[in-house]
Structure 1
Amino acid sequence: MKLTLTAPITAHGEEVTEIEMRDPTGKDVREIGYPYQLNPDESVKLLSAAVCKYITRLGNIPPNAVDSMSPADLNLAGWAVARFFLGS
């Protein structure tokens, strides 16, 4: 899944405007957990700590690059991660 950022970030010493995220594996889920919580009213709450770990791992970018993402891009990336689990 390719994610186009609204604001560039720096990863591995280079400016990045897109993040290509691979599909998660069972090992990823075992090590990180699910990136969301289902509430009793069936709404979905993203779990930011897990989401950030998935962005780092699936997008092959360092944690400090995720830390520098704009809130809008982080939210967009978070829901992109959730779609791997919840569908579209």
Structure 2
Amino acid sequence: MKEIKLSKSVRAHGDELYVLELREPTGKDVRELGFPYTASGDAGVKMDAGVIAKYISRLAGVPPSSVDEMQPSDLNTISWEIVGFFLGSSTLDNS
């Protein structure tokens, strides 16, 4: 589990959340949601915001409406955490 502190709380299941806990994705998650990024020819990564939003909802156990409330900076932070599950931290550290 990865904990991510939010800069602004979001509502989920009737509660105010200030921290999201992300579980690691499984093969089933990938099969159902796809990869949250595409690789470009220059070793770059283009994140797919729509797929990432689905991963946030699923991995953190919050409804899509909670993801819609998030600050852009929080979405960016969480997006890199999710992509990190797939690429490994050493890949992200070198970019």
Unpaired runs of at least 5, structure 2: 90-95
TM superposition shift of 1:6: 0.8
Q: Say which SS state the counterpart of residue 80 (structure 2) adopts.
A: helix
Residue 19 (str. 1) matches residue 27 (str. 2): no
TM superposition shift of 1:59: 0.3
Q: Which runs of 4+ in 1 moved over 6 A?
A: none
After superposition, the C-alpha distances for 1:10-40 in whole angstroms (9 at most, x for unaligned) are 1111100000011100000000000011011
Report the count of equivalent residues: 88
Identity %, equivalent residues: 47
CA RMSD of aligned residues (A): 0.5
TM superposition shift of 1:63: 0.2
TM superposition shift of 1:3: 0.7
TM-score (norm 2): 0.91
TM-score (norm 1): 0.98
Q: Which has the higher contact order (CA 8 A, sep 6+)?
A: 1
